[in-house]
Amino acid sequence: MDMAGFGTTALRRIAVDADHCIDTQALVAQIAADREAGLQPFLLVGTAGTVDTGAFDPLEQLADIAAAEAMWFHVDGAFGALAVMAPELRHLVDGLSRADSLAFDFHKWLHVPYDCGCILVRDGALHHQSFESEPAYLARAERGTGSGAPWFCDFGPDLSRGFRALKVWFTLREFGMDRLGAAMLHDCQLASYLAARIEAEPELELMAPVPLNIVCFRFKGLDPNRLNADIVIDIQEAGIAVPSTTRIAGDLAIRVAIVSHRTIEADIDRLVDAVLEAGRRLSA
Ligand SMILES: *Cc1c(COP(=O)(O)O)cnc(C)c1O
């Protein structure tokens, strides 16, 4: 919002429900309140796979609201949109096809090396109009090196650009959608396995539902925020695993995002053992 010149004061953060999905009633109320105040809501952003918990907003409902309110519907699917590649996960992205624009990253769940983000915009003419510019030194021509319009630079701010598409092409060509989808499904199965292990351990607690490949949990104890922050750093420094942390309703959570095709159940067991060991040691 800052880079587009609106400023973050123009951004409305909408409350989420118990599953960490956008509260559509709060959304509709906010849009009405803003219109009442003479403002012009124009952009609705839904998330397909949130960073913190992997939650999916109800995209069909958001598409309906955006249509009724004449707003642009953008979906942040940085990693979650690619769930479309696993038939078992595809229902999560229902409604995605109604987005006006979609951002997602090949460098996350598709295993393409950094960096390779992607944006799809439905209205090609509008997209072109937004970015095209034709300075004298870039004259378009019917033939010769100036031919082949529209050029890639007509669709974004970059003029010079790397050939990022090549690594995506190789990844898809070498592994194929089915195998990549199967790897993603396996990550989600490992996340469910981790969630079950946490629920079976009285010293641990799950802090959010696990709809995808992300698990948020903590070791119970006095001063849990500090304790769990220390547990995570200990495990990172020991070289056992690399969980991160986040905050769930203000409380610090150990956040495990499973994206490697090499991860197996034994790794999950090792992580749980390490959390239990560090938690007991640090609270002793
Ligand atoms: C990773 C991520 C981003 C940021 O994407 P980058 O490609 O790292 O800039 C935005 N939104 C979500 C949901 C993400 O997971």
pLDDT, tens digit (0-9, with 9 covering 90-100), for 216-273: 999 999 999 999 999 999 999 999 999 999 999 999 999 999 999 999 999 999 999 9
Please, what is the average pLDDT of the chain?
Answer: 96
For residue range 201-218, what is the model confidence (pLDDT) as tens digits?
A: 999 999 999 999 999 999
Looking at residue 72, its pLDDT comes to 98
pLDDT digits (tens, 9 = 90+) for 32-74: 999 999 999 999 999 999 999 999 999 999 999 999 999 999 9
Q: Choose the residue to mutate in 47, 51, 101 for probing ligand 1, maximizing ligand atoms within 8 Å of C-beta.
A: 51
What is the average pLDDT across 88-108?
96
Tell me what pLDDT residue 232 has.
Answer: 98
pLDDT of residue 265: 98
3-state secondary structure the chain: CCCCCCCHHHCCCCCECCCCCECHHHHHHHHHHHHHCCCCCCEEEEEECCCCCCCECCHHHHHHHHHHCCCEEEEECCCHHHHHHCCCCHHHHCCHHHCCEEEEECCCCCCCCCCCEEEEECCHHHHHHHHCCCCHHHCCCCCCCCCCCCCHHHHCCCCCCCCCHHHHHHHHHHHHHHHHHHHHHHHHHHHHHHHHHHHHCCCEEECCCCCCCEEEEEECCCCHHHHHHHHHHHHHHCCCCCCEEEEECCEEEEEEECCCCCCCHHHHHHHHHHHHHHHHHHHC
- The reported pTM is 0.93
pLDDT, tens digit, for every residue of 163-199?
Answer: 999 999 999 999 999 999 999 999 999 999 999 999 9
57 Cβ closer than 6 Å to some ligand 1 atom: no
Percentage of the residues of the chain whose pLDDT score is greater than 90: 94
Q: Atom of ligand 1 at shortest distance to CA of 79? A: 15
- At 164 the pLDDT is 93
What distance in angstroms lies between residue 138's CA and the mean position of ligand 1's atoms? 33
* Confidence bin at 4 (pLDDT 50/70/90): confident
Question: Cβ(118) to ligand 1 under 6 A?
Answer: no
Write out pLDDT tens, residues 151-172: 999 999 889 988 999 999 999 9
pLDDT of residue 29: 98
pLDDT band for position 27 (cuts 50, 70, 90): very high
Mutate to test the pocket of ligand 1, among 79, 109, 114 (most ligand atoms within 8 A of CB): 79
Question: What average pLDDT does the segment 137-158 reach?
Answer: 92
